[in-house]
Chains A and B, each alone.
Chain A
Amino acid sequence: MDVGKIRKDFPILERVVNGKKIAYLDNGATSQKPRQVIDAIVRYYSEYNANVHRGVHKLSEESTIAYEDARRKVAEFINASEEEIIFVKNASEALNLVMYSYGMANVDAGDRVSISIMEHHSNFVPWQFLAKKKKAKLEFVDIDGDGELAELEKASGSKIVSILHASNVLGTINDAEGICRVAHEGGGVAVIDASQSVPHMPVDVKRMGCDFLAFTGHKMLAPTGIGVLYGRKELLEKMGPFLYGGDMILEVKKEGSKWNELPHKFEAGTPNIEGAIGLGAAIDYLNRVGMEEIRKHEVELITYAIAKMKGEVSIYGPLDARKRTGLVSFNVPGVHPHDVATILDEDGIEIRSGHHCAQPLHDRLGLESSARASFHLYNTKEEVDRLVEGIRKVKKVFA
């Protein structure tokens, strides 16, 4: 994998911030876009912009083919079938779809719904809402001292077990197959929030055995506003629609309407066509580099980063790089993460600070907030060196 060549595909990496070339280390929040993705979107608007699934004219046929081709690429990328891929706007919407269309119909008073304490708010708040609404019990799988799931078996017997694949704070890669097994053994369904895993490593829904899988495009080189819900066909067929309106119907009469077939039943209204096409182009890009290669590169980077940062800062999550994704959350003792991020920004080093939409996890760790550096395929060891230099500068400023 030639990182130098890859970097040339990302125009934004040439950007200068405060007089310094940027080191973009906030990929956990969103990734940058290669020109192949930008070009695909420009091409769509310059050459064949038209609404999908509507007209019989040339442009509409072309846009429909491109939109559905993107769906095929997503399906192949995670080993699903096309009718199991629903385009949504982001992972939050995907999880809301499961909560409303599956959860509301299948969870009753007294039932259990299990999530983990390390969830991003996107996989926390919808289930909290469902549990309150249905008077169900929301339970939390805890973490151990290494930031890994502890006593997952306790989730067994829940109607829904919804847990993230990789933590956006701890970096922990959870045993998704184990989560699905526990959910199924207790007669429930397994929902996996794969927002932080699909962009960084090979994911196979069949091997995982999940019933639903949610992820978002913008963290995997695609534009914002496009996300994916995978749902097992048998379940999707039984579920009612999430949103009602255009395109999700086969027939509309004054007396009632018939729902469209999968996956269109769940895609009401004109979809994000440019987003889907951009996502398709992003998947082509990731496939060309190879997900195994990307994972290997990130393991190398994170191993290097942890070794260099260990003596400088407090690091959260497992220290074994094989157990985590390419991100590292940390605190400089005695310095608020916002100050860390602002001082790093002065040198063009872009990291995240705050609670990273995981407040319950920060409470569990006894932290108000943390700083986070998160990598992707274009990041380099030199950028890690700049980060470490920046951290030393922070300490000097606050000495």
Chain B
Amino acid sequence: MSVDYSRIMEIWKNAPNRGEMEDADVVAEGENPVCGDRVRIFLKIRNGRVADASFTGEGCAISIASASLLADYAKGRTMEEMKGLGKEKMMELLGLDLSKNPSRLKCALLPLMAIKKK
């Protein structure tokens, strides 16, 4: 299979960490105008580390699953650690190989790119 949806669908269906955070210290926004994907990542920082994380967004299953996983991964980590994450780590979290699907790679990396911009 070119893109394995099984893991994506598991996350997409429940989408853990979904929801707006009113008292967030960091709000990272990402948009892909080509497909209309939009995500916002909310981070609460305590003592230099992410104490809580959530996301909101509209888009394809890959971008939503990616935001959900990234919010989870962020908890307990510093902003510097998060900004230092590479594409390989994101693929590992998603359990995907998008090396042959560059257009879908943009969907997968949208949330991470939003954090890197902060």
Contact = CB atoms under 8 A, between A and B. Distances in A.
Interface string B55-96: 000111110000000000000000000000000000000000
A96 B44 CA distance: 50
A336 B2 contact: no
Given A368-B58, A397-B9, A398-B9, A338 B2 contact: no
B47 interface: no
Most buried by A among B34, B36, B62: B36
Interface residues of A, number: 18
A397 B5 contact: yes
Interface string A366-399: 0011000000000000000000000000000110
Contacts of A354: 34-35
Contacts of A257: none
Nearest to A345: B2
B1 A338 contact: no
Contact of B35 (A353, A397, A398): A353
Interface in B1-19: 1-3, 5, 9
Nearest to A342: B3
Given A336-B60, A338-B60, A339-B60, A18 B2 contact: yes
Interface in B28-61: 34-37, 58-61
A355 B36 contact: yes
Contact of A343 (B5, B34, B107): B5
Given A354-B34, A369-B36, A397-B9, A339 B61 contact: yes
Nearest to A19: B1
B1 A369 contact: no
B104 interface: yes
Contact of B36 (A343, A345, A368, A398): A368
B9 A346 contact: no
Interface residues of B, number: 18
Contacts of B5: 339, 342-343, 397
A74 B5 CA distance: 46
A339 B62 contact: yes
Nearest to A335: B61
Interface in A322-360: 335-339, 342-343, 345-346, 353-355
A368 B3 contact: no
Contacts of B61: 335-336, 339, 398
Most buried by B among A337, A339, A355, A362: A339
B109 to A, nearest CB: 14
B12 to A, nearest CB: 8
B101 A342 contact: yes
Contacts, number: 48
Nearest to A353: B35
A355 B37 CA distance: 12
B9 A338 contact: no
B1 A336 contact: no
Nearest to A348: B2
B101 to A, nearest CB: 7
Most buried by B among A338, A345, A354, A398: A338
A397 B5 CA distance: 8
Contacts of B34: 354-355
Contact of B1 (A18, A335, A362): A18
A51 B36 CA distance: 45
Contacts of A345: 2-3
B86 to A, nearest CB: 23
A346 B2 contact: yes
Interface string A130-157: 0000000000000000000000000000
Contacts of A337: 35, 60
22 contacts: A18-B1, A336-B35, A336-B59, A336-B61, A338-B103, A338-B107, A339-B5, A339-B61, A339-B62, A342-B3, A342-B101, A342-B104, A343-B3, A346-B1, A346-B2, A354-B35, A355-B34, A355-B35, A355-B36, A368-B35, A369-B35, A369-B36
Given A338-B35, A342-B101, A343-B5, 13 more contacts: A18-B1, A337-B60, A338-B103, A338-B107, A339-B60, A339-B62, A342-B2, A343-B3, A354-B35, A355-B36, A362-B36, A369-B35, A398-B61
Interface of A: 18, 335-339, 342-343, 345-346, 353-355, 362, 368-369, 397-398
Interface of B: 1-3, 5, 9, 34-37, 58-62, 101, 103-104, 107
